[in-house]
Amino acid sequence: MAEMEQGYIDSLIEKAQKAQKEFESYSQEQVDAIVKAMGKIIYDNAELIAKEAVEETGYGRVDSKILKITRCTTAAWHYLHDKKSVGMIDWDPVEKLATYAKPVGVVAALVPTTNPVSTTVSNGMSILKCRNAMIVSPHPRAKKTTIHGVELINEAIRAAGAPENLVQIVDQPSMAATSELMTKVDVVVATGGAPMVKSAYSSGVPAYGSGAGNATVIIDNTCNTPERQAEAAMNTRISKCSDFGSGCSCDGNLIIHEDVYDGFVAALVKEGAYLANEEEAEKLKAVMWDEAGHRLPNTVAISPQKLAEAAGFEIPADRKFIAVTGGGIENVGKEHFFSSEKLTTLLTLFKYYGEFENALTMMQAMFNVGGKGHSCGIYSFDDDHIHRLGMCAPVSRIMVRQPNNRGNSGSSTNGMPPTSSMGCGTWGGNIVSENICLKHYMNTTWVARPLPEDMPSNEELFGEFNKPDMDVE
């Protein structure tokens, strides 16, 4: 790395450390006012930011990005507004344990090209809530939009009383600059592709990363009425079409029971699906993947009309996504590209036969292709089916009868903590298997007061295996 670039990163770190030390002394009320101001300024400018992001990156839809921004800011503030993050945050009178919150220091936030500002503000609100400083490392393709978002944030938080340089951005992003940044902060949160996450975990400092997705949803035999099929199809359309399918949580594969397959597919068509024939499916495959199965970037996050055009055919203007028939379990695997992650307005329909166990087997095969650790969904009214999926699915989150793309990141209609960064456990090469949120950006100190001894004898604990006098001091 050039000496000039190293000096630039060192300067950012020095200013962030100074700001964080000052911020550490703020009261809960002062902190909350700053966090609220951060969310509100981005909420108020959602339309402008969304337009800028689409124009700069070429990814996604303006209306979807507006919804992402408004929902992530409102959800984050709703979750954070009454949470304690200063001083003693918990007291257990039975165990006589007190818990005190402390900042982690300076956080490097690596944000993706698909959600440059929504990820920045969603993670940033939790980061600042814990009295940390934040340095944003944008994707080069979304640099201008991310810089503008940070400028707006700074305008708002300065007015709310935040120290200067509490939020900064690497305005000339590069792999070298990001690598240098990650080695000098206290915590890294990396939201993006696998190489970025791997680099974060190799930085030598504590890091949180998000794994890749390949959301698969099981439609079981209880989706057996027109009303249920319509609801499941609507959920699919919402999740598939959001931002032209650019998110890791967007539906990629459906596993549909044979008894409800035809009715459900008809409901998908009513929701805007275009059913590609075999010839069209082959054309789609050719423009989406190379011969080795690597996803080609020019068809990522585009409208179904543009996707069809790229493949050499036309679809009606009212179609919202394209569906291809994937077949059965014999068509799942790394050599079958349609079972992998799409990141666009394409959905693959698979059919399972007989027992629910066959759906679980197919789901496991899907995750052997990719997306293990991230998420899956199920449309079912059978609690046993839901339980069995929960027992065996190698994922960190399962959405029941709701759109994956809305539910995974936290929603007003479920209890998931709001976030733009979703840990995928060791399945996805991550250190956490939960939504990365408030608690991950704070240190805690436990203060334990003495209690009357409450411990059974070794004989009571170990019975015949007890060895007398083993614990005599």
Domain locations in the chain as residue ranges: 8-210+433-447, 216-406
Please report the pLDDT score of residue 202 as a whole number.
Answer: 79
Residue 67, judged by CB atoms within 10 A of its CB (0-12, 13-18, 19+), counts as middle
Catalytic one among 72, 248, 250, 424? 248
- For the stretch 251-307, pLDDT in tens is 999 999 999 999 999 999 999 999 999 999 999 999 999 999 999 999 999 999 999
Q: To 5 degrees, how large is the angle CA 21–CA 22–CA 23?
A: 90
- Are 421 and 114 a contacting pair, CB within 8 Å? no
Please report the pLDDT score of residue 246 as a whole number.
Answer: 86
Please report the pLDDT score of residue 460 as a whole number.
Answer: 83
DSSP class per residue in 188-254? EEE-S-HHHHHHHHTSSS-EEE------EEEE-TT--SHHHHHHHHHHHHHHHHGGGGTSTTS--EE
Binned at pLDDT 50, 70 and 90, residue 455 comes out as confident
- For the stretch 274-287, pLDDT in tens is 999 999 999 999 99
pLDDT reading at 313 higher than 90 = yes
Residue 452, judged by CB atoms within 10 A of its CB (0-12, 13-18, 19+), counts as exposed
Q: Alpha carbon of 416 to those of 79, 119, 337: distances in Å?
A: 10, 17, 31
Is 248 assigned a catalytic role? yes
Binned at pLDDT 50, 70 and 90, residue 396 comes out as very high
- Are 380 and 400 a contacting pair, CB within 8 Å? yes
pLDDT reading at 2 higher than 70 = no
**391 or 453, greater pLDDT:** 391
Please report the pLDDT score of residue 471 as a whole number.
Answer: 63
Residue 430, judged by CB atoms within 10 A of its CB (0-12, 13-18, 19+), counts as buried
Hey, CA dihedral for 314, 315, 316, 319, is it positive or negative?
negative
Residue with tokens 């982690």: 104
pLDDT reading at 130 higher than 60 = yes
Please tell me the distance from the alpha carbon of residue 62 to that of residue 74, in angstroms, as a whole number.
18
pLDDT reading at 25 higher than 80 = yes
8-210+433-447 folds as Aldehyde Dehydrogenase; Chain A, domain 1 (3.40.605)
Low-confidence winner among 205-219, 265-279, 296-310, 371-385 (lowest mean pLDDT): 205-219
CATH superfamily, domain 216-406, is: Aldehyde Dehydrogenase; Chain A, domain 2 (3.40.309.10)
Residue with tokens 């989706």: 223
Nearest to 401 by CA among 249, 219, 214: 219
With H, G, I as helix, E, B as strand and everything else as coil, classify residue 322. Answer: strand
Work out the mean pLDDT of the chain and round it to a whole number. 93
Region of 96 please: left (phi>0), alpha (psi -120 to 50) or beta.
left
Please tell me the distance from the alpha carbon of residue 401 to that of residue 353, in angstroms, as a whole number.
21
Residue 347, judged by CB atoms within 10 A of its CB (0-12, 13-18, 19+), counts as buried
Residue with tokens 């499916």: 281
Q: Alpha carbon of 166 to those of 48, 93, 183, 191, 442: distances in Å?
A: 24, 36, 19, 21, 16
Q: Exposure string (b/e) for 381-394, b if CB count within 10 Å is 16 or more?
A: eeeebbebbeeebb
Please report the pLDDT score of residue 117 as a whole number.
Answer: 95
Please tell me the distance from the alpha carbon of residue 166 to that of residue 20, in angstroms, as a whole number.
6
> What residues does 286 pair with on adjacent strands?
none
pLDDT reading at 192 higher than 70 = yes
- For the stretch 159-186, pLDDT in tens is 999 999 999 999 998 888 999 999 999 9
Other CB atoms within a 10 A radius of the CB of residue 164 amount to: 12
DSSP class per residue in 277-306? -HHHHHHHHHHHB-TT-PBPGGGTT--HHH
- For the stretch 314-351, pLDDT in tens is 999 999 999 999 889 999 999 999 999 999 999 999 99
Specify the amino acid at residue 332. Answer: V
Please report the pLDDT score of residue 470 as a whole number.
Answer: 65
